[in-house]
Chain A
């Protein structure tokens, strides 16, 4: 329970940080380390995917963006998905069926990432934002309640993608994070070098597979403890009776 409760606390902090605008403190220059729409009336941070598209539209080389993303990648990699991202937290709350991952589909999120960048360049518009389910929940619905937005075509498209993603999340745990999230794809690139990492002690592992059903990303932790899909949530660490899996922070040792 140790890791789970620590993680719930961190996810609460992530939500608080994401919705810091509620305190009345204005916008910051900080990029959010997760998928969190900056159009959200309470958001004070900048969505990395939204900024990426805008920079592509403007044709600005993204030095600041790149530095921040690589920093986040090194600090925790996809750990941010498991420990911080509010949309990941929503995925977590709807994780009822921890089914095994469809491995080949998990690369779709890289296609989504590249597609997002390409569409931004080709249409000179933030196309992904108009489909993003995180924006549906954090921007479209709040602005409808504020009386600014209306129920029209763009709004209905947002609701469509939201409903589709929610259904997916209920059927497959962390559906969005596994297969579609471009931010997850971005952070996944750094998963093998990030300081937060899962370690397996092969001498303790009995190969009992007790860890596999616990993984919300549908991995087989004793084989895939270095997978690009690992969100370092620590569920498998809790599940392992032999203490073979552990979370570590720091530069990895050579094997």
Chain B
């Protein structure tokens, strides 16, 4: 065992303690100065996806994400188009009435391009006005942000002669490397390496103190940011492809000719209920499949139910079990069976309807 050094004289410990105090004394004003320098505008804005893809004479959709990193709420956040004139907002965007501290809100933007706009990359400007109050004193703050626009050639009008504007799906933009996360990971690796490899226990107290600060800071800031509820929300949604309820990925909902023939032989009136949720990726496929079937025969009636809006009904059918939601789910009126997921949906739906040969 290593001998502890005998208490030495004042002279040998003094420079160390002095240095420590100096560092601490300097750290405080330096931190404050850094915070002051880093202080940006109150709300931060970003447009997703950027650039916004749109067709000549058509429109493209994007979301303006508004993050409020401050400790006070921001009110009446409204958006308008500044220019250039070849573009405009297709409809008046809804304003955010109240954005609470540490919350992120979003505003849907539909940007329309006139037929005489130039193709290729363009830049537009939007103006954002909001109110920010500190106690009794309120400020109206105006900000401008740039939006990248990617104008594509006009697309021939839709086959069904519908006059609605063409929406161009924005191309999957290459994801940039997540540098903060890489830094986070490297830091964790270094700390972890130190923690698992060190043979000495001398630094334990300092490490424990540091980690306690991480615990307090992480939990406090995490709870302020509502991350504990986010954690629960993530836990409450069942990963369908993880437990084998469906295979990931969805194709176009299209009926096979055999299915259409089978549906024509349906000889009773059936009502189908499709339970869906806003956040569910495979629900549109299930909805489209039921719509196609209803088009093939007039015996089928259907309705869509949002499980978040009608949790009681969903729970009665076993679509919400033990606080966990499984969608898409399709039920047939008067029967208890529930179809979950979208895998092999056409065949299973025909079986539920009793027309598969």
- A: which residues have CB within 8 A of B? 21, 26-29, 31, 38-39, 41-47, 50-51, 54, 56, 59-68, 70-71, 73-74, 110, 114, 117, 121, 124-126, 129-130, 135, 139-140, 143-144, 146, 148-155, 158, 188-193, 202, 226, 228, 251-255
Contacts and interface: CB of A to CB of B under 8 A. Distances in A.
Interface in B176-228: 178, 180-181, 184-185, 188-189, 191-192, 195-196, 198-202, 204-205, 207-208, 211-212, 214-223, 225, 227-228
B211 A46 contact: no
Contacts of A150: 244-245, 341, 343
B247 A153 contact: yes
A39 B238 contact: yes
B230 interface: yes
Nearest to A202: B1
A46 B222 CA distance: 15
Given A74-B208, A129-B242, A149-B245, A27 B216 contact: no
A33 to B, nearest CB: 13
A228 B235 contact: no
Could you say which of B195, B238, B243 has the most chain A C-beta atoms within 10 Å of its C-beta?
A: B243
Contact of A254 (B180, B189, B202): B202
B275 to A, nearest CB: 13
B243 A143 contact: yes
23 contacts: A27-B324, A29-B232, A41-B324, A44-B323, A46-B231, A46-B234, A46-B235, A50-B239, A63-B221, A64-B227, A65-B231, A67-B219, A67-B221, A125-B248, A130-B242, A148-B340, A149-B243, A149-B244, A151-B244, A153-B244, A189-B191, A189-B196, A251-B204
Nearest to B234: A54
B48 to A, nearest CB: 11
B232 A27 contact: yes
B46 to A, nearest CB: 12
Contact of B178 (A28, A38, A121, A193): A121
B73 to A, nearest CB: 21
Interface string B314-357: 00000001111010000000000000110100000000000000
B222 A64 contact: yes
B232 A74 contact: no
A29 B231 contact: yes
B236 interface: yes
Could you say which of B212, B227, B235 has the most chain A C-beta atoms within 10 Å of its C-beta?
A: B235
Contacts of A144: 244
A28 B233 CA distance: 10
B229 interface: yes
Contact of A228 (B178, B196, B208, B340): B196
B191 to A, nearest CB: 7
B214 A29 contact: no
Contact-size category for B: 35 or more
Could you say which of A44, A114, A254 has the most chain B C-beta atoms within 10 Å of its C-beta?
A: A254
A191 B234 contact: no
B223 A39 contact: no
Interface of B: 1-2, 4, 175, 178, 180-181, 184-185, 188-189, 191-192, 195-196, 198-202, 204-205, 207-208, 211-212, 214-223, 225, 227-232, 234-236, 238-239, 241-245, 247-248, 321-324, 326, 340-341, 343
Contact of A193 (B184, B195, B228, B340): B195
A12 B245 CA distance: 30
A179 to B, nearest CB: 15
Given A27-B236, A125-B248, A140 B243 contact: yes
Nearest to B248: A125
Contacts of A135: 242-243
Nearest to A124: B175
A64 B219 CA distance: 5
A63 B204 CA distance: 23
A64 B217 CA distance: 9
B204 A193 contact: yes
A121 B176 CA distance: 11
A177 to B, nearest CB: 15
Contacts of A21: 322-323
A128 to B, nearest CB: 10
| 7 nearest CB pairs, A to B | A67-B218, A64-B222, A155-B244, A64-B227, A67-B219, A63-B222, A29-B228
Contacts of A54: 234
A16 to B, nearest CB: 16
Contact of B211 (A45, A148, A190): A190
Nearest to B189: A114
B222 A254 contact: no
Contacts of A65: 218, 222, 227, 231
